[in-house]
Amino acid sequence: MDSSVHWVLWDGACDFCAWSIARLRRRDTHGRFRIAPFQSAPPELLQRVSPNALRRGVHVITADGRVLRSGRAVLFIGEQLGYGWLTRPLSLPPLIWMVEGVYWIIARLRGKLSRWLRLSETECPR
């Protein structure tokens, strides 16, 4: 396993997640991330996070071994992509609590969001 990149584990069965990951892949021009659906992630990564947690939200395993999930994972990704001016303030209380709350709502509505946005296999390359 390459220790110089950050791993992003996401739900490969979710169209909304695939749509989001497609955008991440386009923006990761410096190759900072290895991206894998948790359903096919390397076993050594899966030992670090419970399957139930992986189904509930995106996870980042940083190059230095930290495990971030949900809103904190999204903020970390944003910072790595050059949006630190936005993500750093959002990482502080009370804003981080709002980020986590919004993430929680989106995660629970992702199936409906996929239908409302009319996401399909063609718009969600895996």
Model confidence over 15-27: pLDDT tens digits?
889 999 999 999 9
Is the pLDDT at 96 greater than 80? The verdict is yes
Residue 124 lies in a domain: no
Residue 125 lies in a domain: no
Domain count, the chain: 1
What is the model's pTM?
0.89
Residue 122 lies in a domain: no
Residue 1 lies in a domain: no
- Read off the DSSP letter of residue 47: T
| Mean pLDDT of the 63-90 span | 97
Say what the pLDDT of residue 119 is.
Answer: 75
CATH number at residue 15: 3.40.30
Residue 76 lies in a domain: yes
Residue 93 lies in a domain: yes
